[in-house]
Amino acid sequence: MNHSPAHRRTGHCNLDRVGIADKAYVRADTLSGGQQQRVAIARALMQEPKLMLADEPVASLDPATSHSVLRYLEELNKEEGITVVCSLHFLSLARRYATRVIALKGGTIAFDGLPTEITPQRFRQIYGEDAIEVEIA
């Protein structure tokens, strides 16, 4: 592991970028779920990625924290040009944060397009007539 002063500075900068610089010396297992997700983002930023894969980054978070984490990912995309591929189970979040949505059904692509193109009718075509869209406000 590289623990040079420059590496530490970069680590602190990345923690600051995700709003938890004050937690730099706190054990990760004592942080809240949202803080742990932001640590994961900061850790990934240490690799200077061009692409980030976020597998259900808000699955166990409350709505406000979910939006906070997704805003950080959105900022990385817009400000740093990092492509973010994110799996989400809530269409309302995909509509708010995504620029492109790919919906899978039975392991195949059921939709590939803009979030605004997923109308209530299209949603039922993708997920079935009995599917109910859950809003995360």
Tell me, what's the pLDDT at 52? 94
Question: Are 95 and 52 in the same domain?
Answer: no
Tell me the whole-structure pTM to 2 decimals.
0.81
Task: Give 4-33 pLDDT, tens digit per residue.
Answer: 889 889 989 989 988 889 999 999 899 988
* pLDDT tier, 128 (very low <50, low <70, confident <90, very high otherwise): confident
Q: Are 32 and 20 in contact (CB under 8 A)?
A: no
DSSP letters of 33-72?
HHHHHHHHHHHHHTT--SEEEEESTTTTS-HHHHHHHHHH
Question: Are 108 and 54 in the same domain?
Answer: no
Question: Are 69 and 111 in the same domain?
Answer: no
Question: Are 67 and 126 in the same domain?
Answer: no
Distance CA 14, CA 74 (A): 15
* Backbone CA torsion sign across 34, 38, 43, 47: positive
Number of domains in the chain: 2
Distance CA 133, CA 25 (A): 40
Query: Which one-letter amino acid corresponds to residue 82?
Result: I
Beta bridge pairs of residue 34: none
Question: Are 94 and 67 in the same domain?
Answer: no
Task: Give 51-109 pLDDT, tens digit per residue.
Answer: 999 999 988 888 888 898 899 899 999 999 999 999 998 888 988 999 999 998 889 99
Q: Specify whether the backbone of 41 is left (phi greater than 0), alpha (psi in -120 to 50) or beta.
A: alpha
Question: Are 6 and 71 in the same domain?
Answer: yes
Last residue of a domain, one of 51, 71, 87: 87
* pLDDT tier, 131 (very low <50, low <70, confident <90, very high otherwise): low
pLDDT exceeds cutoff 70 at 2: no
Distance CA 48, CA 25 (A): 22
Kindly report the CATH number assigned to the domain that includes residue 33: 3.40.50.300
Question: Are 81 and 97 in the same domain?
Answer: no
Q: In terms of residue numbers, what domain contains 31?
A: 1-87
Question: Are 63 and 98 in the same domain?
Answer: no
pLDDT exceeds cutoff 80 at 135: no
Question: Are 80 and 94 in the same domain?
Answer: no
* Neighbouring residues of 82: CB distance < 8 A, sequence distance ≥ 6: 49, 50, 51, 52, 76
Question: Are 82 and 98 in the same domain?
Answer: no
